[in-house]
Chains A and B, each alone.
Chain A
């Protein structure tokens, strides 16, 4: 008989940020302290945005625009950057023991294991996605899901991801502070080139329910388990309420100042390959995000691959060169080499300003 996992599923109504995030935190806690088997939570949020545990929310978001548009904002307990959520984005929370059989070990291993599940789910729906190390799922060079995880209580782990069924790029550019906002109309195009959605890939109005079912099937296959639909028990309900109070409606949590200094910079460099324009977001001394634009020749897939290799890495010259070299192929950007691209990125770093 196959082992069973619990499934908390909600596709009938989008939940508030506080409710969704508190429930997800509870998953890992219940596995660690409440003797629960792994729990998969599939749901959607009300229109909202959340930032990573160690992000500066006031720098990452235009809070006045969020308020004006009725977009909830909060801080999640997992790492990474800003994530837009809403009724057309499937949110996935998984609480699992880090030593669970079949879950690969180590930081990279866990991401890889869970990405295999999502790749299978997307394949079932007719989309060929692949893992873009270290945190994204892509379709032909465009991001369709972002993965994030936090090591939680004891040996238990919370894994978060979101699958973009549909996505409002205009909303994103309106409420997020990103260096690309400075590009105005060009910014819209740049985001569109880097992201895709299930509906765009499939060319049909796929329902949230169908996407969730594909995810469930993929979990059952990859882990050889049976998902049993369930509801939170009393211990879990109490934990959710406590976490809502302690964290998700608590300004001290939402506006936490435990984060690296956030800065942004733009750098331009004329090179043999063309004009390079680099938009850099820095989190302390690390690169949170980099966007490479200009009039050079390359594919969006290659540009995205380069950008991904630098996300959440050190901004020191030697590290940029090392990370670029690890994925570089000749003429990835026609006429450009690693030292020149590094030079352009460092120029954006030199021009860094606090928002």
Chain B
């Protein structure tokens, strides 16, 4: 388990630039939103889930996530068919806040182009750089606001 600047970003996962994480087990890829996203967003109040059996491309918007009045996008980290969705989120979307890598998983994709897709995701040491860059932007804006 890796903690980067106060955010829990597990080593074994892959990360898309638009904040989805991917857990790879064979060709089945479980997808959720990472800790930095859920902390930044605050309480998640609704998840607009796609249908099972839908095909998605890597980088395609496959769902929407509402926190307070903001509606963010869930972007597919890999291409393939959506084979499972987490129906518990329909009852309690705050599972994403409470346990974003466990009970707060969102969907499972049966990947169709896994090796190539994984190459374009952040993994291992590159995750540190990804988090740092995201935070730099936020901190630069905060500093500018104080000027």
Q: Which of A271-297 contact B (CB under 8 A)?
A: 283-286, 288
With A104-B145, A107-B41 as contacts: A284 and B68 at CB distance below 8 Å:
no
Residues on A with C-beta less than 8 A from B48 are 54, 258
**Cβ B93 vs Cβ A151 within 8 A:** no
Chain B residues within 8 Å of A109, by CB: 138, 141
Q: Is the CB of A107 within 8 A of B71?
A: no
* Contact A149 B94, CB 8 Å, known A104-B145, A107-B41, A286-B45: no
**Cβ of A298 under 8 Å from chain B:** no
A240 to chain B, nearest CB (A): 21
Q: Mark A49-63, 1 if CB is under 8 A from B, else 0.
A: 000111000000000
Contact of B141 among A52, A53, A104, A147 (CB under 8 A): A104
User: How many A residues, CB 8 Å from partner?
Assistant: 37
B interface SS class: mixed
Task: Chain B residues near A65: list those with CB within 8 A.
Answer: none
Q: How far is the CA of A288 from the CA of B43 in the complex (A)?
A: 12
Encode contact with A along B36-80: 1 for CB under 8 Å, 0 otherwise.
Answer: 000011110110100000000000000010111111110000000
Determine if A260 is an interface residue (Cβ-Cβ < 8 Å).
Answer: yes
**In contact, A314 and B97 (Cβ under 8 angstroms):** yes
Inter-subunit contact A80/B43 (CB<8 Å): no
Interface size on B, residues (CB 8 A): 28
Q: Is A259 an interface residue (CB 8 A)?
A: yes
Whether a CB of chain B sits under 8 angstroms from the CB of A105 is yes
Inter-subunit contact B43/A313 (CB<8 Å): yes
User: Is B87 an interface residue, CB under 8 A from the partner?
Assistant: no
Is the Cβ of B72 less than 8 Å from the Cβ of A135?
no
A319 touches B73 (CB 8 A): no
Contacts of A258 in B (CB 8 A): 48
> Is the Cβ of A80 less than 8 Å from the Cβ of B91?
no
A134 to B64, CA, bound (A): 20
Q: Is A150 part of the binding interface, using a Cβ–Cβ cutoff of 8 Å?
A: yes
Is there an interface contact between A150 and B71, defined as CB atoms closer than 8 Å?
yes
Q: Which of B42, B46, B138 is close to A260, meaning CB atoms less than 8 Å apart?
A: B46
Q: When the two chains form the complex, which single residue of A102, A112, A149, A316 contacts B69, counting CB atoms closer than 8 Å?
A: A149
Query: A106-B40, A109-B141 given as contacts; is B70 within 8 A of A150 (CB)?
Result: yes
Tell me, in angstroms, the Cα distance from A110 to B138 when the chains sit together. 11
Interface members, chain A 43-92 (any B CB < 8 Å) = 52-54, 77-80
Q: For residue A104, which residue of chain B has the nearest CB?
A: B141
Contact check, A285 vs B93: say whether CB atoms are below 8 A apart.
yes
Q: How far is the CA of A44 from the CA of B42 in the complex (A)?
A: 32
Select from chain A the residue with minimum beta-carbon distance to B40: A106
On whether the beta carbons of A312 and B69 are closer than 8 Å, the reply is yes
Question: Do residues B45 and A151 form an inter-chain contact, with CB atoms below 8 A?
Answer: no
Q: Given A52-B69, A79-B71, check contact A285 B141 (CB 8 Å).
A: no
Given contacts A105-B141, A109-B138, A135-B68, contact A54 B94 (CB under 8 A): no
Q: Once bound together, how far apart are the Cα atoms of A102 and B97, in whole Å?
A: 29
Any A CB within 8 A of the CB of B90? yes
Q: Is there contact, CB below 8 Å, between A134 and B68?
A: yes
